[in-house]
Amino acid sequence: MRQNTKGLIIREQNIGEQDKLVTVLTADMGVIKAFVRGAKSVKSKKQSATGLLCYSSISLYMGKDAYIIDEAQPIEVFFGLRDDIEKLALAQYFAELAFELAPQETDANEYLRVILNTLYMLSNDKKPMLLLKAVIELRLLSLSGYMPNLVACDRCGEFETPTMFFNFEHGLLFCENCASGEISLPLELCVISAMRHIVFSKLEKLFSFEMPPDKLEELSFVTETYLKAKTERKYKTLDFFNSLRTT
Domain identity same for 59 and 168: no
Three-state DSSP class for 69?
strand
pLDDT digits (tens, 9 = 90+) for 215-231: 999 999 999 999 999 99
pLDDT digits (tens, 9 = 90+) for 154-197: 999 999 999 999 999 999 999 999 998 778 999 999 999 999 99
Q: Which of 85, 105, 100, 120 is nearest to 235 (CA)?
A: 100
The residue that leads in pLDDT, 66 or 165, is 165
Domain identity same for 47 and 155: no
pLDDT of 42 higher than 60: no
- The domain tally of the chain equals 2
**Domain of residue 45, CATH code:** 2.40.50.140
Q: Kindly report whether the global pTM for this prediction surpasses the value 0.85.
A: yes
Chosen domain end from 53, 76, 99 = 76
Range of the domain at 40: 3-76
pLDDT of 1 higher than 80: no
Chosen domain end from 76, 107, 133 = 76
Domain identity same for 27 and 144: no
Domain identity same for 112 and 157: yes
Using pLDDT thresholds of 50, 70 and 90, give the confidence band for residue 43: low
